[in-house]
């Protein structure tokens, strides 16, 4: 294999059979269940990297069903997203993410820097209740519930929020000697967003301690809101907002 061939064709690991295809990555009927809660401000500031800033002690705990995603297939995610600001602009920082499918784990980490780990999240409707559950191995880590479609939200407002909010990630790729070779703050946007429906209702959220899935380190002090959203969208590729090694 020629050096030029490697340079031209290198995209992802493994070289001869990458774990995920080249994008764009389109998601159809992507279903969100998001519980917003108040937490401990000091603990938030311990986990949010500068130059991002935290102005409110809020966390969005998310369950996301992705039954139809380009190249990644059918999978479910669960994790924590923290409202932040960067240079005065409001955005979101993805702090933790757990999912059940290898290609989006590999692609999410290698391309964008999503903090993805293998686990067993579930999102489904039981009678009159939307239920989200996250297990890490045999241990329950998170349980969320919401009254199913109790009140309809303005889909246009939700769509604008999804499309306009910048999202931030801390991407780290090590050198062969174990030191960081890439360490940067990545910014990306959701694109071509079309919200099919959005609802809210009464909600509850319980987080449980786990050594390797420490979502409970950001404790639930008060549940403020819950949203159930169904949308089509494209996951835009990122840009480097800040290089920690520069």
Q: Are strands 167-174 and 239-243 parallel, antiparallel or unpaired?
A: unpaired
Mark whether 2 is an active-site residue.
Answer: no
Helices and strands, counts by H and E, the chain: 4, 15
> Got the DSSP string for 47-86?
HSPTT-B--S-EEEEEEEEEEEETTTEEEEEEEEEEEEEE
| Nearest alpha-carbon partner for 191 in 240, 237, 239, 241 | 237
Active-site residue (options: 116, 117, 149, 151): 116
| Nearest alpha-carbon partner for 133 in 212, 59, 215 | 215
| Nearest alpha-carbon partner for 60 in 33, 26, 28 | 33
> Got the DSSP string for 151-184?
EE--HHHHHHHHHH--EEEEEEEE-TTSSEEEEE
Q: Just list the catalytic residues.
A: 116
């Amino acid at each position: 294999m020629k050096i030029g061939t490697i340079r031209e064709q290198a995209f992802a690991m493994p070289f001869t059979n990458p774990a995920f295809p080249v994008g764009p990555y389109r998601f159809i009927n992507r279903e969100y269940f998001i519980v917003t809660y108040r937490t401990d401000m000091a603990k938030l500031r311990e986990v949010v990297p500068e130059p991002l800033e935290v102005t409110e002690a809020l966390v969005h705990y998310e369950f996301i069903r992705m039954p139809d995603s380009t190249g990644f297939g059918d999978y479910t995610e669960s994790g924590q997203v923290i409202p932040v600001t960067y240079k005065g602009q409001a955005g979101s920082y993805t702090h933790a993410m757990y999912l059940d499918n290898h290609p989006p784990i590999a692609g999410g980490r290698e391309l964008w820097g999503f903090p993805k780990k293998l686990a067993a999240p579930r999102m489904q409707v039981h009678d009159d209740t939307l239920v989200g559950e996250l297990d890490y191995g045999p241990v329950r880590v998170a349980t969320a519930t919401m009254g199913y479609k109790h009140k309809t939200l303005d889909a246009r407002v939700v769509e604008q929020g999804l499309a306009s909010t910048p999202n931030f990630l801390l991407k780290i790729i090590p050198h062969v000697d174990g030191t960081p070779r890439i360490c940067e703050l990545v910014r990306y946007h959701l694109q071509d967003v079309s919200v099919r429906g959005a609802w809210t209702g009464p909600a509850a959220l319980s987080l449980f301690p786990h050594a390797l899935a420490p979502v409970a380190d950001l404790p639930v002090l008060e549940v403020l809101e819950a949203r159930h959203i169904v949308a089509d969208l494209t996951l835009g590729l990122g840009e480097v907002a800040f290089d920690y090694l520069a």
